[in-house]
Amino acid sequence: MGFTSLAFLGFFPIVWLVYLLLPGRLRAVWLLVASYGFLGTFGIKYLAVLIGSTGVTWAAGMTLENNGNIKRLDSKQVSETGLKTSAGAKSHGPAAAVFVAVIILHVAALCFFKYNRSNIALPVGLSFYTFQAIGYLADVYCGTIQAEHNLLNFALFQAFFPKLVQGPIERSGNLLRQIQNIETLSARDPERIRRSALLLLWGLCEKLLIADRIAIPVNAVYSQFGAFGGVEIILVTVLYAFQIYCDFAGYTDMARGIAGMLGFDLLANFKRPYQADSVQDFWRRWHLSLSSWLRDYVYIPLGGSRKGRFRRAVNILITFGVSGIWHGTGVHFLLWGLLHGVGQIFDIRNWKLPRWIKRLLMFLFIDATWMVFRVNSLGDLKGMLLVILTNFRLQDFAGMQLGSFEWILLVLGILVVSAKDVLNEKGFAFRGWILERNAVVRCLIYTALIGAVLIFGVYGAAYDTSGFLYTQF
């Protein structure tokens, strides 16, 4: 039951209306039931994995706190050392043994489901809630937070359905704190509902009008690249940059909109990534919950940039290598991560170039690495590069399976998203502008967006709504 399915269209209004009617702590119970029901539609076995992971993590957190050899780090220590152990967080004794054992268990389970060669499918959301669990345990172990004693609260923290399938990878200081204070959340605030509903609607547009339409030519060319020329390969590679952006950002906007209507504020995951002028800047804008997780729980514990340039370079490569293999089993995912690591080591941020040129160079670099990310194997990557070098011509444009009108819609969608990001970068907030209009204008805008989704979101014989891309990771 994905966010774009008819089943979810019936599921969420019921969950939301009942939630609004319930008092206090009963809201948490209802949301946990709804979240488990949501995941259960993908398969009961996936629900069993989540419940098992939740129980182990909660028990481990309680054990770490009750061990008694961990002191709280103050905010200054945390900012200076990240998760590096210090005099305030001892790295020996039973707590360390429990911490290491449970982290190994989580990583082993993730690797088993993700990299096994049998027909066992990857449980929905496993990569996301596993990283969330590891981050929670690391925070408890290092004393930056207290363990959650209420199992209901922690179970909801792990299972909260808006962020369950594709994140964001939440932190206990954000989502868990809101769950602990669920009685005070302003779920009935009309202004919050309007803002959240508009964000949900925009996410639907990103996914159904842009990402899924771009998927048609991208899938056609990448699945049979030998039938196309180099021009088509480069064209769909550029398009893929917008497909994965609108797909993943669309999911995040929908998740934040759904959570917002329930009174929760999820972490933002994107900040106009193609406006970046360096690799480092890109990762401050793209998949923020993952990049900050890798920084706090991999890069900084390895030593960060505190031990010289060579060690910094090694730490960066390890961190981006972890990012690569988190995304998938193929060697091309690892290569994609390492390319970003090399790009950050030899970053262009200090080059004396106009900012627009840096942005252009960055987009070309990011887009080239998206090709590595998108291919099915290194063999396919080699074959596609060979086609580009030896057959750079337009060979079978019709084989990309879009009609003229659909190409127009695709280009318009990309232009709208790009213009929105450029204007947002300059400080203009579209959502705020819309919400400031009178009721008639707002209704016209809402009607136009809904109409576009209903009419153009199902346009064309080759068109079909696909699953969100990051679900597979």
pLDDT of residue 307: 85
pLDDT of residue 455: 85
pLDDT of residue 89: 45
Residues 6+ apart with CB under 8 A from 48: none
Residues 6+ apart with CB under 8 A from 455: none
Residue 400 lies in a domain: yes
Q: In whole numbers, what is the pLDDT of the chain averaged over residues?
A: 89
pLDDT of residue 467: 57
Check whether residue 176 and residue 202 sit in a common domain: no
Q: Is the pLDDT of residue 125 over 50?
A: yes
CA 368 to chain centre: 20
Check whether residue 166 and residue 25 sit in a common domain: yes
pLDDT of residue 350: 83
Out of 184, 209, 243, a domain closes at 184
Check whether residue 49 and residue 92 sit in a common domain: yes
Short-list 377, 443, 397, 15, CA closest to 198: 443
DSSP 3-state percent helix, strand, coil across the chain (nearest 5)? 70, 0, 30
Check whether residue 37 and residue 137 sit in a common domain: yes
> Helix (H, G, I), strand (E, B), or coil: what is residue 122?
coil
Q: Is the pLDDT of residue 351 over 80?
A: yes
pLDDT of residue 75: 41
Q: Is the pLDDT of residue 121 over 90?
A: no
Residue 286 lies in a domain: no
Mean pLDDT within 358-364: 96
H helices of 283-354, in order, are 288-294, 309-327, 331-345
Check whether residue 45 and residue 173 sit in a common domain: yes
The tally of domains found in the chain comes to 2
Mean pLDDT within 187-192: 91
Check whether residue 363 and residue 444 sit in a common domain: yes
Q: How far apart are CA 173 and CA 168, in angstroms?
A: 14
Q: Is the pLDDT of residue 82 over 60?
A: no
Burial code (b: 16+ CB inside 10 Å, e: under 16) for 73-84 equals: beeebbeebbbb
Instruction: Name the pTM for this structure.
Output: 0.89
**Which domain does 220 fall in, by range?**
192-278+348-468
> Helix (H, G, I), strand (E, B), or coil: what is residue 24?
coil
Residue 209 lies in a domain: yes
Check whether residue 203 and residue 109 sit in a common domain: no
Check whether residue 401 and residue 272 sit in a common domain: yes
Mean pLDDT within 142-160: 94
8 A C-beta contact, residue 271 and residue 424: no
Burial code (b: 16+ CB inside 10 Å, e: under 16) for 337-354 equals: bbbbbebbeebbeeeeee
Tell me the pLDDT tens digit for each residue of 277-301: 999 999 999 999 999 999 999 999 9
Check whether residue 112 and residue 260 sit in a common domain: no
**Residue 356, token pair as written in the block:** 């627009």
pLDDT of residue 469: 55
Check whether residue 153 and residue 224 sit in a common domain: no
Mean pLDDT within 337-350: 92
Comparing 348 with 462, the larger pLDDT belongs to 348
What is the number of other CB atoms lying within 10 angstroms of the CB of residue 57? 26
Check whether residue 169 and residue 204 sit in a common domain: no
One-letter identity of residue 406: E
